[in-house]
């Protein structure tokens, strides 16, 4: 875990009226973003979808059809965890990202569930899940082309996919990767509220704000295991 950087500069100090005026200016932009996100979500609900083959994945209980991964729900979100066979620690970003999701029962009310899929062998995947204390349900596409077919191939990056089930037929409705996954994370939403933000060197920050190499403030896989694993 990295040591926080102490700032060499602070925001200017003003009277309350000046502060409220500046906050009101910012609020107008924030509200505009909220309305735009609503419009984007409305467009997402109108996306067409593509029918998928009848994939078989591996689960803790053995082979399972993709349609059965829904466990009776109609909608499914999958996070595709980056994977390197035999590695002691898997991708720190993926490990840290999925560690956030400890209470997913609210999705039951929306006829949906959210799971992790990896291209690693299921035994290795489940052992790693236990090692880092992950609370999500994991599946493996190591013996299937599923990962590659939904833009998360072996040796490739992470991804999020969304699917809709109609009986035994599964359709792919949405996909994102890279910073597109940030909307699922409360980590960045909270950090971005802070005066110093993410403190990463690519950010547009005032002179003197603490900044460091990108990713250097993130919790790595050993940090997650220490905080949430069996010995926590």
Select the more confidently predicted residue: 179 or 1.
179
What mean pLDDT is predicted for residues 163-186? 96
pLDDT at 3: 60
pLDDT for residue 104: 96
Question: CA–CA separation, 19 vs 31, rounded Å?
Answer: 18
| pLDDT higher than threshold 70 for residue 7 | no
CB of 136 within 8 A of CB of 101? yes
Lowest mean pLDDT among 6-10, 59-63, 151-155: 6-10
pLDDT tens digits along 16-31:
999 999 999 999 999 9
Query: In the chain, pLDDT over 70 holds for what percent of residues?
Result: 97
Angle, in degrees to the nearest 10, between helices 221-228 and 92-99: 30
- Specify the pLDDT at position 55: 98
Q: What are the Cα distances from residue 113, in Å, to 128, 136, 139, 145?
A: 21, 10, 13, 22
Contact 201, 209 (CB under 8 A): no
**Mean pLDDT across the chain:** 95
pTM: 0.93
Q: How many Cβ atoms are within 10 Å of 151's Cβ, its own excluded?
A: 16
Instruction: Indicate the pLDDT class of residue 9, thresholds 50, 70 and 90.
Output: confident
Averaged pLDDT, 71-84:
98
Predicted local distance difference test score (pLDDT) of residue 189 = 94
Residues 31-75 pLDDT 10s: 999 999 999 999 999 999 999 999 999 999 999 999 999 999 999
Residue 4: per-residue pLDDT? 65
Numbers of helices and strands, H then E, in the chain? 7, 8
* Over residues 187-208, mean pLDDT: 94
What is the spatial distance between Cα 87 and Cα 85, in angstroms, rounded to a whole number?
6
Q: Write down the pLDDT at residue 6.
A: 66
The band of 216, judged by pLDDT with boundaries at 50, 70 and 90, is: very high
pLDDT recorded at residue 117: 98
**C-alpha atoms less than 13 angstroms from C-alpha of 56 in its C-beta half-sphere:** 5
Nearest residue to 216 (alpha-carbon basis) of 231, 203, 230: 203
């Amino acid at each position: 875990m990295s040591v926080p950087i102490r700032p060499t500069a602070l925001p200017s100090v003003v009277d309350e009226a000046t502060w409220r005026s500046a906050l009101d200016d910012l609020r107008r932009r924030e509200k505009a973003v909220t309305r735009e996100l609503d419009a984007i979500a409305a467009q997402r609900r109108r996306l067409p979808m593509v029918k998928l083959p009848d994939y078989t994945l591996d689960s803790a209980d053995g082979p399972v059809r993709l349609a059965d991964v829904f466990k009776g729900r109609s909608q499914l979100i999958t996070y595709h965890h980056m994977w390197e066979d035999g590695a002691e620690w898997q991708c720190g970003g993926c490990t840290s990202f999925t560690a956030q999701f400890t209470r997913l029962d609210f999705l039951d009310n929306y006829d949906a569930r959210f799971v992790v899929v990896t291209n690693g062998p299921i035994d290795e995947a489940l052992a790693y899940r236990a090692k880092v204390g992950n609370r999500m349900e994991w599946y493996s596409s190591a013996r299937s082309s599923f990962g590659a077919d939904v833009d998360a191939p072996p040796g490739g990056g992470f991804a999020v996919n969304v699917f809709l089930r109609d009986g035994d037929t599964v359709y792919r409705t949405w996909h994102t990767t890279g910073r597109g996954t940030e909307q699922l994370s409360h980590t960045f939403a909270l950090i971005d509220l802070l005066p110093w933000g993410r403190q990463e060197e690519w950010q547009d920050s005032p002179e003197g704000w603490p900044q460091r190499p990108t990713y250097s403030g993130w919790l790595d896989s050993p940090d997650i295991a220490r905080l949430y694993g069996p010995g926590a």
